[in-house]
Amino acid sequence: MADQESRLAYLNARKLARKYTSDYANTETKGYLPVLDERLHGVVIVGEINLGYHEIMLSRIIGTKTSARSNSFAGNFMPLLSEDTEFALKWQAVYASQLKEGIREPITVYEYINRYYVLEGNKRVSILKYVGAASVYGNIIRLLPERDESNTEISIYYEFLDFDKRLFFNNLWFSRKGSFTRLVRQTQHFLKHHPEVNSDIGTVINHVHRIFREAYKAVNLKGLNFTTGDALVEYIGVFGYPYKATGKELRKNIRNAYSQFLVAAGERSREAVEVSPEQGAMFQSKTGIFRSPNRITAALAFEGTPETNIWTRFHVRAIDRIEKKYQDYLKVEKLYNCSVHGSQCYRDITGLLEKKPDILFTTSAAMSNASLRIALENPDIIVLNCDTPHEGKNLHTYFFKMYDLTFLCGILSAAMSETGKIGYMSTYMKSPTYELNAFAIGARMINPRTQVFDFAMTGINDWAEHDKARYEFARNGADIAFCLHSPDNPLDRKAFPEIYAQIYRIDGKTGYPVESLAGASFDWEPYYEKVISDAIIGKSSLLDGHMEGNPIHFGWGLSTGVMDIFPVNSVIGVAGRLLRIFRDLIKDNRINPFEGPIYDNKGNMRIDWNYVPTLMEIQQIKWHESCVTGINYSF
């Protein structure tokens, strides 16, 4: 009979309740149902908004609005009162009705910071949780707390509210500020390119989050302190927007993305290795053997061609030499003009996998997301992306320690300057702040009164812009200019085919170059030779000895031979000897450009006395060294 069944259900539910209160007796709530009114003590509520009628995930309903029923339920919403009470009889009656007709009356809840507290319908929620239901329909009243940026939970909540205070996101939450903004931008980008999806952002996000959450829960990944919202944002960054993805596809990709989720959740951290010439970078496959013990295949993806892009030219020139040197053991596959845009970049690079490479080099930072996806989907292939290190990506990267080179350029510039004023020109892709700062630190080591002018503009990509920048330098008293060349400027390729940056003396009135002093150049050959030769002979990996699975960034400095500065004959004297001294100090690791104390141009100490920041810390520098001054056009 239904009555007997209802009574047995109540007794079973009560056992669950008593166990819960016993297990959680030492917690703040003593194992009883949390009360919103008590949580709001001392909290300033600045408004209430009626969100209307929505489906609510039962997992988000965690308490009751008032204390009237708080002792009737355990914290898991199971009933506590004995079976001969009026409360127990009403619970059983609602349970019997649930068996026959289902629960048709909506509940009423208050939402506070993405959690729900029941005002009307505590027994209905209790019964639905007991039978294992996933959701219930109800009327929602949102309580708005006073904005407090020092409170992480409230600041995350206001990301939602600032977007739309009436918007309802079912079960969507994040563990860090900025993730919701990122998800909104990802959704806007998707809708911009898919006008056929005729829905508002809130509807699309709820749809995608719902199907993603089902797949994410089904996969049941372990060891992740991660919300499904966090995972969704990371998933989109790797695999694209899953608006029409099937459950099977989602589950497969989520499993592949497990290591990326661990990194994004902070369970694994990126390690930065400053490579010495003795180490280089040594890799082997996960099994310890390559497909062909005596011969390997290396695939490389390039953003441009050697004829159209200096950066590509540097890499191709190096790999061609290595291929010739190891021709009996090495096969090289190249992809030119690889797209750097989203899914097309992924498709282009995936085409290289048909060649069955042992190692895949992606030579542009713009290929980072596609490289990450390929690395996650193909764990037996070593994927290396040429980029500076980034937290939150489970991708091995390699790059020059550019600040070694710009530090030396600053030293030489200051040694050759008569006015103590130097101009620094970046390319159309503004160089990182830490490179400019290293240049300024080097200059101040030679002349503490040096001024470095940073040409503050969107970019320099043609000779007219160069002329304007040099004119501004001269107008401000500079007699030396340092210029990073543009990677895709045809004039640069023609005039300076092997030079990445140069230093020259400029005319004091026009800024016109009157004497070349030095050129800086890259040579990727030592890098590719070390990686490939070690792979051919099956040497052990630098990954050994590091935390298993951690992404690693290999920073190649001046000591490895991948870059250097070459002064002209007229600089060979005192300035040339000075340059050699500092070059040797860097190579022997006896000096670091960023050893403190270092002050910014507002007088604040940024790096403390004798402190040497890590590679990752240096890359995150956003301030300007004390002698750096920005200048703009005067016309």
Phi, psi (degrees; rounded to nearest 5) at 60: -90, -10
Q: Of 309, 437, 297, give the one whose Cα is nearest residue 364.
A: 309
Greater pLDDT, 489 or 11: 11
Whole-angstrom CA distances from 317 to 56, 87, 498, 522, 523 are 60, 82, 10, 11, 8
Query: Is the pLDDT score of 271 beyond 90?
Result: no
Residue 134 pLDDT > 80, yes or no? yes
Task: Report how far Cα 250 is from the mean position of its chain's Cα atoms.
Answer: 21
Choose between 491 and 555: higher pLDDT: 555
Task: State mean pLDDT over 196-209.
Answer: 93
CA–CA dist 487, 501 (Å, integer): 10
Please give the sequence-ordered ranges of beta strands (E in DSSP) within 381-445, or none if there are none: 382-386, 396-400, 421-425
Say which range, 114-123, 215-224, 290-299, has the weakest mean pLDDT.
290-299
- Could you give the angle at which helices 179-193 and 152-163 cross, rounded to 10 degrees? 30
Residue with more model confidence, 493 or 372: 372
Q: Strand 480-484 and strand 501-506: pairing?
A: antiparallel
**Residue 542 binned pLDDT confidence (cut-offs 50, 70, 90):** very low
Token pair listed for 385: 């992306």
List the domain boundaries for the chain.
Answer: 1-146, 149-267, 271-400+527-558, 402-525+562-631
Give Dmax (Cα) for the chain: 105
Return left, alpha or beta for 507; rule: phi > 0 is left, psi -120 to 50 is alpha, else beta.
Answer: beta
Tell me: the pLDDT tens digits for 234-269? 999 999 999 999 999 999 999 999 999 998 888 877
Count, residues in the chain:
635
DSSP H helical ranges for 61-121: 86-101
The DSSP output letter for 453 is E
- Is residue 161 predicted with pLDDT exceeding 50? yes
Half-sphere exposure of 620 (CA within 13 A, CB side): 9
**In this predicted structure, what is the pLDDT of residue 351?**
94
At 563 the three-state DSSP class reads strand
Rounded to an integer, what distance in angstroms lies between the CA atom of residue 257 and that of residue 262?
A: 9
DSSP symbol at 106:
P
- pLDDT band at 616, cuts 50/70/90? confident
Separation of CA 303 from chain center: 21
Supply the DSSP string of 480-537, one letter for each residue.
EEEEEPPTT-HHHHHH-TT-SEEEEEE-TTT--EEEEEEEEEE--HHHHHHHHHHHHH
What mean pLDDT value characterizes the chain?
Answer: 87
Helices then strands, counting H and E runs in the chain, come out as: 20, 21
**Looking at per-residue confidence, does 573 or 506 come out higher?**
506
The edge-to-edge listing of strands for the beta sheet with 501-506 is 563-567, 513-522, 501-506, 480-484, 421-425, 451-455, 628-631
CB 455 within 8 A of CB 422: no
In this prediction, residue 32 has a pLDDT band, given cuts at 50, 70 and 90, of very high
The predicted pLDDT at position 491 comes to 53
pTM value surpassing 0.75: yes
Domain 271-400+527-558, CATH: 3.40.50.2300
Q: How far apart are the C-alpha atoms of 398 and 54, rounded to whole Å?
A: 49
The pLDDT confidence band at residue 164, using thresholds 50, 70 and 90, is confident
The whole-angstrom distance between residue 447's C-alpha and the CA centroid of its chain comes to: 38
% of the chain exceeding 70 in pLDDT: 89
- Which segment, 30-44, 525-539, 566-580, is predicted with the most confidence on average? 30-44
Distance of alpha carbon 582 from alpha carbon 580, whole angstroms: 6
Fold of 402-525+562-631: Rossmann fold (3.40.50)
Q: Which amino acid is at 494?
A: K
- In Å, how far are 127, 196, 210, 401 from 484, measured between CA atoms? 69, 44, 48, 15
> Closest Cα partner for 454 from 410, 487, 493?
410
Report how far residue 98's alpha carbon sits from residue 101's, in angstroms, rounded to the nearest whole number: 5
What is the residue-wise DSSP string for 90-103?
HHHHHHHHHHHH--
Per-residue model confidence (pLDDT) at position 423: 95
CATH class of 1-146: alpha beta
pLDDT digits (tens, 9 = 90+) for 406-436: 999 999 999 999 999 999 987 645 568 999 9
Residue 631: strand pairing partners = 455
- Tokens representing 380? 């037996």
Q: What is the pLDDT of residues 322-367, one digit of tens each?
A: 999 998 899 999 999 999 888 899 999 999 999 999 999 999 999 9
Angstrom distances, CA of residue 260 to CA of 76, 82, 212, 213, 521: 33, 50, 16, 17, 35
What local confidence, expressed as pLDDT, does residue 281 receive? 41
- What separation in angstroms does the CA of 563 have from each of 116, 400, 499, 525? 59, 8, 11, 10
- Per-residue pLDDT, 456: 55
Domains 271-400+527-558 and 402-525+562-631 share a fold: yes
**Coarse DSSP helix, strand, coil percentages of the chain, rounded to the nearest 5 percent:** 40, 20, 40
